[in-house]
């Protein structure tokens, strides 16, 4: 049985094949639950993992340690098993080129039309969270509901027309207002993430004053032409550091220089129109991969 290869279903997609030892390692990490559909050669069809005799028996065993302490890489080139020892490692984004482009356009258009903003925002965040892969947190989902903070997205849509008034004073007033509304949206998204059907005890602890301060600093840094990239990097680290409620720490490892040159490439690609779908996914994948989970204190002591 040790030479068998296994497949499992995640978010409606087939993952695998995985060698038997690595597959049992995924079970031990919690990436595969008793309710997960699995299949291996010789089985008549897909079955729940808990219904396969002997499969979940070793689920409480500690994960195998890869040779040399390196990360466990998944079969088939996907990231479902790239959790690394102890379930730590980088996030990944599992989306198609056209799906990302279509959802992004729908989100922008919906917000600009104001009235559909709450619907498209809720739908977009649910879709996005479902396609983010986090080591040790299988089957992510978004539990936020349309009526939770619908007014936030309506006001954000209205604020997007502030520049059309022609009054500089109005635009200046709207900057902190937009920052506060964005802070509300971030707190809502973080607080409504679940894994394997269980809502996670996550909370965004960053203050609204701190968030507005970073927002204003980003606006001001645009004067320096390139300084905004370093401000963005620092702001992302601050955002991640303020996600609490888990035994692991969320960190952002992207540098200002990396953000700068990738944004330039992204802007050039968008200017030529045709490359937009590809550079959009490339840019989104990079940003996602720079967010990781590590044991608390490990990053500060590194």
Judged by average pLDDT, the poorest of 131-140, 185-194, 256-265, 267-276 is 131-140
Domain range list for the chain: 5-87, 90-301
Alpha carbons 98 and 278: distance in angstroms, whole number? 9
The tokens describing 199, both together, are 């809502």
Q: What per-residue confidence (pLDDT) applies to 300?
A: 59
**pLDDT at residue 38 is higher than 80:** yes
Q: What per-residue confidence (pLDDT) applies to 151?
A: 97
Q: What per-residue confidence (pLDDT) applies to 165?
A: 74
Q: What per-residue confidence (pLDDT) applies to 57?
A: 61
**pLDDT at residue 35 is higher than 50:** yes
Q: What per-residue confidence (pLDDT) applies to 230?
A: 97
Alpha carbons 80 and 150: distance in angstroms, whole number? 33
Backbone angles phi, psi at 7, to 5 degrees: -125, 155
Q: What is the mean pLDDT of residues 67-75?
A: 39
Q: What is the mean pLDDT of residues 241-270?
A: 94
**pLDDT at residue 159 is higher than 60:** yes
Q: What is the DSSP string of 195-259?
A: ETTEE---EE---HHHHHHHHHHHHHHGGGSSHHHHHHHHHHHHHHHTEESSSEEEEE---HHHH
Q: Which of 34, 1, 64 is nearest to 197 (CA)?
A: 34
**pLDDT at residue 111 is higher than 80:** yes
Q: What is the mean pLDDT of residues 202-210?
A: 97
Tens of pLDDT, residue by residue over 214-235, are: 999 999 999 999 999 999 999 9
- Lateral strand order in the sheet of 248-252: 89-90, 291-295, 248-252
Question: CA angle, 229 as apex, 224 and 230 as ends, to 5°?
Answer: 90
The tokens describing 36, both together, are 């997960």
Q: What per-residue confidence (pLDDT) applies to 84?
A: 34
CA distances from 97 to 39, 93, 209 (A): 28, 11, 36
Q: Which of 47, 45, 125 is nearest to 32 (CA)?
A: 47
The tokens describing 83, both together, are 């959790």
């Amino acid at each position: 049985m040790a030479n068998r290869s296994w497949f499992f279903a995640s978010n409606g997609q087939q993952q695998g094949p995985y060698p038997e030892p690595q597959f049992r390692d995924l079970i031990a990490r919690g990436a595969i639950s008793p309710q997960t559909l699995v299949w291996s050669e010789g089985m008549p069809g897909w079955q729940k993992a808990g219904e396969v005799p002997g499969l979940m028996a070793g689920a409480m065993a500690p994960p195998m340690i890869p040779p040399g302490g390196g990360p466990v890489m998944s079969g088939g080139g996907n990231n479902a098993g790239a959790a690394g020892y102890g379930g730590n490692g980088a996030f990944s984004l599992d989306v198609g080129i056209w799906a990302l482009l279509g959802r992004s356009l729908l989100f922008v258009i919906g917000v600009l039309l104001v009235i559909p903003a709450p619907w498209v925002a809720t739908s977009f965040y649910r879709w996005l969270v479902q396609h983010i892969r986090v080591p040790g947190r299988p089957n992510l989902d978004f539990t936020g509901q349309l009526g939770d903070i619908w007014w936030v997205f309506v006001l954000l849509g209205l604020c997007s027309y502030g520049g059309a008034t022609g009054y500089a004073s109005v635009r200046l007033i709207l900057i902190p207002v937009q920052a506060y509304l964005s802070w509300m949206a971030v707190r809502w998204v973080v607080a409504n993430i679940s894994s394997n059907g269980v809502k996670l005890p996550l909370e965004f602890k960053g203050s609204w004053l701190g968030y507005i301060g970073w927002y204003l600093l980003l606006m001001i840094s645009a004067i320096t032409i390139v300084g905004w990239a370093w401000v963005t990097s620092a702001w992302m680290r601050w955002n991640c550091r303020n996600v609490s409620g888990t035994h692991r720490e969320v960190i952002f490892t992207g540098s200002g220089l990396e953000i700068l040159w990738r944004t330039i490439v992204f802007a050039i690609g968008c200017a030529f129109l045709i490359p937009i779908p590809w550079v959009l996914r490339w840019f989104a994948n990079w940003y996602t991969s720079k967010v990781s989970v590590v044991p608390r204190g490990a990053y500060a002591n590194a």
